[in-house]
Amino acid sequence: MPLAPRFDNEFRASFALLLAWRRDVRRFRRDPLPDGAIERLIALASLAPSVGLSEPWRFVLVEDEKRRQAIRRNFAAANAAALAAQAPERAGTYAQLKLAGLDDAPCHLALFADRSTEKGHGAGRHSMPETIEYSAVAAINTLWLAARAEGIGLGWVSILEPESIATILDVPREWKFIGYFCIGFPEAEDDTPEFERLGWEKREKPSLFLLRR
């Protein structure tokens, strides 16, 4: 059995910085990613935990321009509906938010969870089948951190209509859409979320989310 590595104080401090500087990037340079970068990041993402070792994540690299255009139209329609639903005192700020980097990001990646997979033999999901989706989210979070460690940014585009995305990308019906991601080098970097900088919301103290019983 191999010896487990020991992560020292310097490593832990660097890891804390990685978490603090991970941002949801919306503004990208158009420079292409280095050859093999996305494949390397997906390989690291696949080290994420999954229920029963089911590895249900399914990555779709969206390179076809017609499909990308269809995604942009889907976002525009969903975003217009979201803006119309905002309270009047919030609508102005919402309109200022840049909520997607679809036009500039060189890499578009969609993530699905394969709910029909037999891998893992159903372990751990008899009473909570949604852990298949949770596993896929763990994979994208791992990819997000791995990308940031290489100076690559990732933006989660959540303002989309899921069934339409599955149709546009022509994936199996059993795959559950998790998210659509823009990936590339950020125009600028900041350790504060844009939502906070623009006054949309503020980060709370972690102690507020801890309940003891």
Residue 77 has what pLDDT? 93
> In this structure, is residue 19 part of a structural domain?
no
Closest CA to 49 of 116, 114, 132: 132
Per the DSSP assignment, residues forming a β-bridge with 109 are: 61, 181
Residue 177 has what pLDDT? 97
DSSP letter at 178? Answer: E
- The model carries a pTM of 0.91
Q: pLDDT tens digits, residue range 80-91?
A: 888 888 888 777
One-letter identity of residue 129: P
> In this structure, is residue 192 part of a structural domain?
no
Residue 191 has what pLDDT? 82
Q: What residues in the chain have per-residue pLDDT under 70? A: 96, 99
Total structural domains within the chain: 1
Sheet containing 57-61: order of strands: 57-61, 107-114, 175-184, 153-157
Mean pLDDT, rounded, of the chain: 92
Residue 186 has what pLDDT? 95
> In this structure, is residue 90 part of a structural domain?
yes
CATH number at residue 132: 3.40.109.10
Domain that holds residue 82: 24-187
> In this structure, is residue 129 part of a structural domain?
yes
> In this structure, is residue 210 part of a structural domain?
no
